[in-house]
Structure formats: structure tokens, C-alpha cells
Amino acid sequence: MNKKAVFAGSFYPDNPEELNKLLDTYKETTGVDYKTKAIIVPHAGYIYSGHAAMAGFQYLEPNENIFIIAPSHHESFNNIAFPEYTFFETPLGNLEVNNKLIEEISEKFPCLIANEIFDNEHSIEVQLPFIQNLFLPQRQSAVDFVKNIKKLGKKIRIIPILTGKCDHRLISDLISAYWENSSFVISSDLSHYYTQQQCRQIDTYTATIIETGRIEFLENYQACGIVGVKGLVDFANNNDCSMIRAEMYNSGDISNEKDKVVGYGSWFLYTDTRNDYIEKYYSSYILKTARESIIHAINEEEYIPRHIPSVLTEYGASFVTLKLNGKLRGCIGSVYPTKPLILDIIDNAKNAAFQDPRFEPLSIDELENLELSVSILSSIEKIEFKDERDLLSKIYPYGIIIVERNKRAVYLPIVWEQLPDREIFLNSLKEKAGLPPNYFSKSLEAYKFNATYITEE
């Protein structure tokens, strides 16, 4: 029994050639050779959310089983639901449902099996042509066909899941149980029917929560697929992974309608920290941006890059350090993320060059021999300690911030290279804060962080 395509001709073209051409227009050269087993992508009409969806799908690694976890917009039920359909049809052909795996899952997880819940639901159907366009193209050479079969071992099959009233940990547990041989598509739009300004504020807040893993702050109004989103982020938290932004905008950016808009975003799971990802793929971009910011500032011009990778629009904190002939020439930074990381780097580069009170403003003659490095900070974590000895045992090898009423100071982790003794390190940091080196009180606070260094060679 096949599930007919209901939304072809409305949410997306019903002509196969037209549909493939449209999907191809959404593809971009990411410049990043990374594939993931889990993504979050939107599910609206392609004219609105297609670009954001493809931005996420382009990072997806095809596997024998692709789970599509989506919200039910019309039916109310508990836990999760599966269909009994054998195939889901689209204008690009049929995708087989792995009913054997569904039977296995139904014995382990609380669920409902009912076709009618899926019959008029778009949140799964609109994802299928992306899978077919990217992984099962209708036109491919014999060589490509053999390569794809060899890579996968078997043909791709889907596991469609609709979420009802459900604890997100059910989704997290499901992902954990079938992670080894599967990929996961979390289907969700962001905020619905606010003004464009409100939408941007809400979606920026939602994005920050997804990217920092603070799922306790995610609420239903922020995303229609909130259960799946929280489930994947919970899985990422439990496995020391990060959610990296691929794209984010809203329907008003497409239609120019500003009153009632819907937000769209896509993210992919990365098996390390966000800063590791940035260092691996965008080090050259960041160094070029910081240097260009200084050059433009000398010419009394503002600098904003034309194309900014979405991951650098995430909020972040950075330090920019300048050296001339091996000697410090300026260093300014941010401890807390208050703006998109790319803007933080641009501002700190300018400030290190022209606003560091220890130095005269940089001159154009110094640019040629200027050495530049950017430090991207991790999140800040408070250190709990009983006394100074306890504090000393917990500060290495981190960057450290100390706060005593209105006095504060920060050392980056790299300072340990100059001050390897813990007591000397801490005493020096106290002096930087304007405190005596032997100072200690119960009101003293300390925080730790890591930093990723990106340095010109």
C-alpha cells in the first residue's frame, strides 16, 4: 500500500523535471567537506523554506535507514506514530518504508501505528524530494550508480515518525538506539505568525538555545517540531557533540510580508565543539576578515564581508591579539558572547589596533609586519571552591576570570605558557584586577573557559 503525495503542486512542483531544477537551484558550494548523520530542517513550501532545507540536507550523510521525525499538525495522540504504508510516493518516484525496522521499534518504544495520521500531514512529505534529489537521482551514470550502491550497501529506506504529546527523551533514546546504521532528519519550522521583528528576536533566541544545548529553555511557541528538536539536541549534549547552524531566515525575507511571518532554520550535528569546526574549516576566512577590518579602519571605512558562513553568525566571544616583530602590539577581546561571532572578531580587531590604551594607534606602515591571531572562547563555567588551595587545584589549564565586586581580570589559556606556576598565575591575575597578590576572600568569584587559537603562519 502506497502513501500518495498530497502536497505536490502546492508546497512543491508536481512536475519531476521542474522539481529537480528547483531543488538544484537551492544547492550551494559549502566549501566544507563534512557529512553528518543528523540535521534539523524546515518543512514549509519550497518557495519559502527550500533554500534553508537544502542548506541542511547538503551536510547529511546517506545511510540505509533515514529517520524523518516530524510534528503532527492535525492529529492529537500520545508518544510517536508510524505508518503501515509500504512506499511514500513523490513526483520523483517512490521511497520504501522500512516496515521491518518499524515493527522492531514498536516493540521497544511506546507508539501508535496508523496510516490516517499521515494522510494529510506535510511535515514528512516535503522532506522526501530532497532525499531523492541528493541521494537517488533519476539520471546518473552507470559508474555513479555502482558507486552509490557500493557506498550504501543497500538501497535507502525511510522510517517516517510523527510526534504527538511526547517527552523529548523518547526521541533522544530512539536516536541513540539506531545511530549506528541510520541518519536522522528532524523536521521543524521555527516561530509562527509574529511580526518580522518579533520573529527575528524569537528565532535568534531559539537558535542560541539549540547551539548552546540549553534545551530546558525551549518552549512550544518557538518551533512546531519542538519534541524532535529537543530530542536531537539532548542526544548531542549526551554525546559531546555540537549543533552547527547552516541557515536561518524567515518568510518575510522572501515575500516582503512583515506582519505574520514564519521562521526557518537548519542545523547539523557535529561530533566535536563548534570552535573546533570553525578552526578546521574557517581559519583562513577569520584571519582575512580580522586583517581586512583593520585595513578598512585605517582608511576610515566599515568592513562587513559579503558572504558570511552561517556558523559565524552564531553568537560568540573572541580576543584578537596583534604582534609586531614578536612583541605585543595590541590585544582586545570579549569574555561573554553579546553579538554574532563574526562581528565580535571585526570589532575586536579594530579595537586591538586602535583602542588598546597601552599602545599608540596602529599605523599603515606597521601592517606589513603585523602578526595577527584570533582566540575564540568557549562558554564560561563558574568554578566552585572552598579556599584558595582548592581554587589553585582547579584553574589549570583553563582561561580564568576572577571577579571581586567591581574588580575583574581575565587571562587566556595561552598565558600558562608564560606563567606555568599556578600560584604565580593566580597572583598575577589578581594584580591585573587591581588586587594584592596575596588577596583572598569568600566573595571572590572565579570562572574558567577554553579557547581555540587561530594564528597567522
Contact 97, 83 (CB under 8 A): yes
Q: Start-end ranges of CATH 3.30.700.20 in the chain?
A: 276-375
Q: Start-end ranges of CATH 3.30.1490.150 in the chain?
A: 381-455
- At residue 147, the pLDDT reads 57
- At residue 144, the pLDDT reads 55
Close Cβ partners of 132 (under 8 Å, ≥ 6 residues apart): 90, 92, 93, 95, 138
- At residue 248, the pLDDT reads 97
Contact 190, 253 (CB under 8 A): no
**∠ at Cα 209 (444, 122), nearest 5°?**
170
Q: Start-end ranges of CATH 3.40.830.10 in the chain?
A: 2-271
d(CA 246, CA 267): 5
- Identify the CA nearest to 307 among candidates 289, 281, 295, 280: 289
**Superfamily holding 2-271:** LigB-like (3.40.830.10)
The listed CATH number (2.40.160.20, 3.30.700.20, 3.40.50.300, 3.40.50.2000) that belongs to domain 276-375: 3.30.700.20
- At residue 142, the pLDDT reads 53
Does this model's pTM top 0.85? yes
Contact 311, 245 (CB under 8 A): yes
Domain 381-455, CATH 3.40.50.1980 — does that match?
no
Amino acid at 393: S
- The list of the chain residues with pLDDT below 70 reads 138-154
Cα 396 from chain centre: 29
- At residue 365, the pLDDT reads 92
HEC string of 328-387? EEEEEECCCCCCEHHHHHHHHHHHHHHCCCCCCCCCHHHHHHEEEEEEEECCCEECCCCC
Contact 225, 164 (CB under 8 A): no
